[in-house]
Amino acid sequence: MSDSIKIFSVLRYRPETDDAPHFEDFEVHWLPEHSILDGLNYIRDNLAPDLSYRSSCRMAICGSCAMVINNVPRLACKTFIRDYENSAKITIEPLENFPIERDLVTDISDMIDKLESVHPYIVPRKDIPADAPSLQTPQQLARYQQFSHCIQCGCCYAACPQYKLNKDFIGPAALTMLYRCNHDTRDTNQEERTAIMSQTKGLWRCTSVGYCTDVCPKLVDPAAAIQLGKEESAQDYVLRLFKKKK
């Protein structure tokens, strides 16, 4: 280990003893190649064996280690201690807007329920055999590919002030998933999903703060998916007016 020491100020909450979370400071020895997750592993291995946090892949694929680092929702495995060299300490908190279960572990089941509610799967055409190829042009793929990179880490929900104030809001990741499925040429379920996104708790709750896009570790740009969805929702509304008149 090098002589470099960084103070990690971790928000801790142990339900069996604590009534509310509180910060606890730890001295972490670190090397330039160490991520925040490595720092947390150091704390658990050497200083606080009961420290709870989620992690799995260590390569920004699984989204398990999302947490708030120096007031910004990030993946701990993708954030490096060296980036905070000038900070006196690094504060680490669980994801905002979700209930804390223990230390840095939050209950994200509300987000998962919302993701499930938007029918996040392709409903293929019935007139094509299931094993037949479904060809797409590069342009058709480009329409939704960026939005398919979401790993459902929850950073965007932690960043969203609308979700903070109103838990009914379907939220950035679910609306992005909805847009992604609606723009896949293999899908036939657009009408049902458009109705979901256009409801009161859908994308019109979004007030275009854009912080979800700023914090997205996979550069998905949920704010863009929501803006594009608003355009389609408005078009759908107008078209329905004309359809009713017939």
Residues within the interface to another protein (CB under 8 A): 13, 15-16, 20-21, 71, 96, 99-101, 107, 137-143, 161, 164-165, 207-211, 213-214, 221, 223-224, 227-228, 230-231
Quick one: which of 153, 137, 131 has its CA closest to 216? 153
Least distance (Å) between residue 66 CB and another protein: 16
Do residues 36 and 81 lie in contact, with contact meaning Cβ atoms separated by under 8 Å?
A: yes
- Taking the least distance from each CB to another protein, the nearer of 41 and 96 is 96
Of 22 and 240, which CB lies nearer to another protein in the complex structure? 22
Tokens of 156: 């965007």
> In whole angstroms, how close is the CB of 126 to another protein at the nearest point?
25
For strand 22-29 and strand 100-102, is the pairing parallel, antiparallel, or unpaired?
unpaired
Tokens of 158: 């932690």
Q: How far apart are CA 104 and CA 109, in angstroms?
A: 15
* In the complex, minimum distance from the CB of residue 188 to another protein, in angstroms, rounded to a whole number: 21
| Element of type H or E holding 23 | strand 22-29
Q: Check if the beta carbon of residue 149 is closer than 8 Å to that of residue 219.
A: yes
Closest approach, Cβ 178 to another protein, in A, equals: 16
Query: Which residue lies nearer to another protein by CB, 81 or 100?
Result: 100
Tokens of 107: 């209950």
* Least CB distance to another protein at residue 60 (A): 22
Q: Which is nearer to another protein, 107 or 192 (CB)?
A: 107
Q: Identify the sign of the CA torsion 48, 52, 56, 61.
A: negative
> What is the distance between the alpha carbons of residues 232 and 235, in angstroms, rounded to a whole number?
5
**How far lies 39's CA from each of 2, 10, 69, 73, 124, in Å?**
13, 11, 12, 17, 45
Min. distance of Cβ 220 from another protein in angstroms? 12
